Amino acid sequence: MQHVALSSFDKGRCEPFFDRLTDYFHQHHHSEEGDAESYEELLYRVRRPYTTQMLDMIDAWMGLEKRDWREETQREVMLALYAIRYPDTLLIESFTENARSNLPRLSAYLHFTNHTYAIWDEDTRRGLVKLGIDIPATEVADPFVYGAYVSAIELLKDVAPFTCFLEHDVPRQRLFQAALAAYGRE
Amino acid sequence: MADAEVVGDYTQNFEVWIDDFNEWQTRIGFDPSWLGDYRFDIKFDWDTAGSHIEFGDFKGKPKWERRMQIPQQTIRDAIVNMVSVQGDTEFASVEQQNHLLASAPTEYDRKSALRIMCEEQRHGWQMAYLLCTFFGEQGVREAAKLLERNAQEGTRILGSFNEPIDHWLDFFMFTHFIDRDGKYQLKMLSTSSFKPLAASMGPMLKEESFHLGTGANGLRRIVKQGVIPCALVQKYVNKWVSTGLDLFGTDDSASAQWAYVYGVKGRYDEREAQEPAAREHLNEASRELYFQELRDEMRRISKVRKKGEPALYIPSDKFKRGIGKFAGKRYTVHGEDFEGDEVAWEEYLSSVLPSDEDEDRLINEYMEQEWIQYREWKGD
């Protein structure tokens, strides 16, 4: 999946996006929906040892309904948050169905605990598609689809000119993911 | 795709230097296990480096890719000097800061500081790689010196990089003011006639932006929290701004002029500038842009202060300068001539710069409280 999604990457097609990346970031991150202040607070509030209250805080910011997880599901996800090493996504494959049922939720947990993983978001995926990086839509946490999504954002970080990198202390993945979300919606 | 490159094979010179680097890490107390999966990649962005010399007397000729293409020894020396100074600052900042990891106010601050230190070390690697790979014995000698000079001993090349960073207020001041100077230096080298140097700058600038963001947001969080009075924060601003301004070098600098003539180091806005460069006043021009940026940033930071707190400001560029036409002269933080004798001057300085009592109050009174937004984490 990663190979297929990224092998036909055309940097030239990204130039208009790179030219306006900082505007796109502000459009999304500082929108009412983006709630920048709560996002930035979460970066500081979510810390080791992780607790279910921290996951609740992430769910609240994401606008997700309460998790309907059994104790074991909660435990396996919590353990994975400690164990996972960027950019690995294959660990997701070992999760039970319930834990894998909501990719935006799981990706947000990964983002706020590890900072390097990007939040899965349908607008962001559309943004990648507009750049020629064709990643299929999904609700379920497929490790290969999410792996391609994570790698694609990493690739964009690599090839973007330095002028795209705002003087901001949010993770660089967030800069690109938020900008892609605004671009995908446009 | 892009012409970005991560170097896979190193020369023997550089391999030997890496052994020295590992010893340096141990010597300064930086535990390599803190790096986790972080790798010190050597990165070049050939795409943005440009193919032809962009300014100076060699303008229009192909950029130099190897030492032997550089037409004069004086130019080679100038490049070695630029790379050495840049590399020196990268390792110095890690020496200054790594002890702070144990007292980070939050886990995210600790991670951010660690990332900054990892990236500064990578920048140092990049400079050492250029020296070892392109400049023969001379380069190898200079690369070794990058690890021999030491900030704690006060032997780093530039003044700011020998200043102690005793606490997190200093850390945020440093990343805001001194790393911002770093951004200027990197951008000025990004158009260099020596292509491997120019191509090194894009990836470094990408990383530097996070460092500046960390500094600015750290200061904003402190001011917003309102535990440390703005009057005290102002004293630290006064302390760091003058040293930041000095980093741009002397006024009417002949070496800056020669670097421009050689095409080695341009203006901060070299590619955007419409006017020809005032070659005799290159440092002053860059310093002025930096100074203006500091004022804009401080206005933003000051906006979040609590009601009743005085506005924060950037002191005059004449105040307590160690380099340039104002060096050694007495001016107030507002740029007025100071009237008074030596004793009065010392008294004045202790009223506008952090004193021992201020340091004591900061650490033992304010920093014992919730002095910065989101402070909850108390270590592992």
The pLDDT value given to residue B4: 74
ω into B310 cis (within 30 of 0)? no
Above 50 in pLDDT, residue B63?
A: yes
Q: Within a 10 A sphere around the Cβ of B270, how many other Cβ atoms?
A: 17
Mean pLDDT of all residues in B228-245: 98
Structure tokens at B82: 């630029």
Above 90 in pLDDT, residue B282?
A: yes
The pLDDT value given to residue B8: 82
Percent of chain B predicted with pLDDT > 90: 95
**How far apart (Å, rounded) are the C-alpha atoms in residues B258 and B58?**
12
Least confident of A164-178, B214-228, B363-377: B363-377
List chain B residues with CB under 8 Å of A167. Answer: 209, 212-213, 216
Local confidence band at B378 (pLDDT 50, 70, 90 cut-offs):
low
The pLDDT value given to residue B330: 98
**How far apart (Å, rounded) are the C-alpha atoms in residues A101 and A138?**
10
Check if B111 contacts A (Cβ < 8 Å): yes
The pLDDT value given to residue B9: 87
The pLDDT tens digits for A5-45 are 566 789 999 999 999 999 999 999 999 888 999 999 999 99
* Residue B9 covered by a domain: yes
ipTM above 0.85, yes or no: yes
Mean pLDDT of all residues in B136-163: 97
Rounded to the nearest integer, the mean pLDDT of chain B is 96
* Residue B333 covered by a domain: yes
Query: Mapped to the 3 state alphabet, what secondary structure does A95-117 carry?
Result: CCHHHHCCHHHHHHHHHHHHCCC
Interchain CB distance below 8 Å, B373 and A44: yes
Q: Check: CB of residue A112 under 8 Å from CB of residue A42.
A: yes
List chain B residues with CB under 8 Å of A165. Answer: 205-206, 209-210
* Residue B65 covered by a domain: yes
List chain B residues with CB under 8 Å of A170. Answer: 213
Q: Check: CB of residue B144 under 8 Å from CB of residue B13.
A: no
pTM of the model: 0.94
Interchain CB distance below 8 Å, B4 and A43: no
* Residue B377 covered by a domain: no
The pLDDT value given to residue B375: 84
Check if B209 contacts A (Cβ < 8 Å): yes
The pLDDT value given to residue B49: 96
B337 vs chain A: nearest CA distance in angstroms?
36
The pLDDT tens digits for A106-140 are 999 999 999 999 999 999 999 999 999 999 999 99
* Residue B376 covered by a domain: no
* Residue B378 covered by a domain: no
Of B4, B210, B217, the CB nearest to A159: B4
Containing structural domain, residue B213: 4-368
Check if B304 contacts A (Cβ < 8 Å): no
The pLDDT tens digits for B15-53 are 999 999 999 999 999 999 999 889 999 999 998 999 999
Closest residue in B to A12 (Cα–Cα): B1
B153 vs chain A: nearest CA distance in angstroms?
31
- The number of distinct structural domains making up chain B is 1
Closest residue in A to B380 (Cα–Cα): A48
ω into B105 cis (within 30 of 0)? no
List chain B residues with CB under 8 Å of A45. Answer: 374, 376
**How far apart (Å, rounded) are the C-alpha atoms in residues B228 and B230?**
6
The pLDDT value given to residue A140: 96
CB burial of B14-50 (b: ≥16 within 10 Å; e: otherwise) equals: beebeeebeebbeebebeeeeeeeeebebbbbbbbbb
A3 vs chain B: nearest CA distance in angstroms?
15
* Residue B178 covered by a domain: yes
Q: Within a 10 A sphere around the Cβ of A8, how many other Cβ atoms?
A: 9
Q: What is the CATH number of the domain that holds B331?
A: 1.10.620.20
* Residue B257 covered by a domain: yes
Above 70 in pLDDT, residue B379?
A: no
List chain A residues with CB under 8 Å of B218. Answer: 169
Check if B107 contacts A (Cβ < 8 Å): yes
Above 50 in pLDDT, residue B1?
A: no
Local confidence band at A170 (pLDDT 50, 70, 90 cut-offs):
very high
The pLDDT value given to residue B36: 86
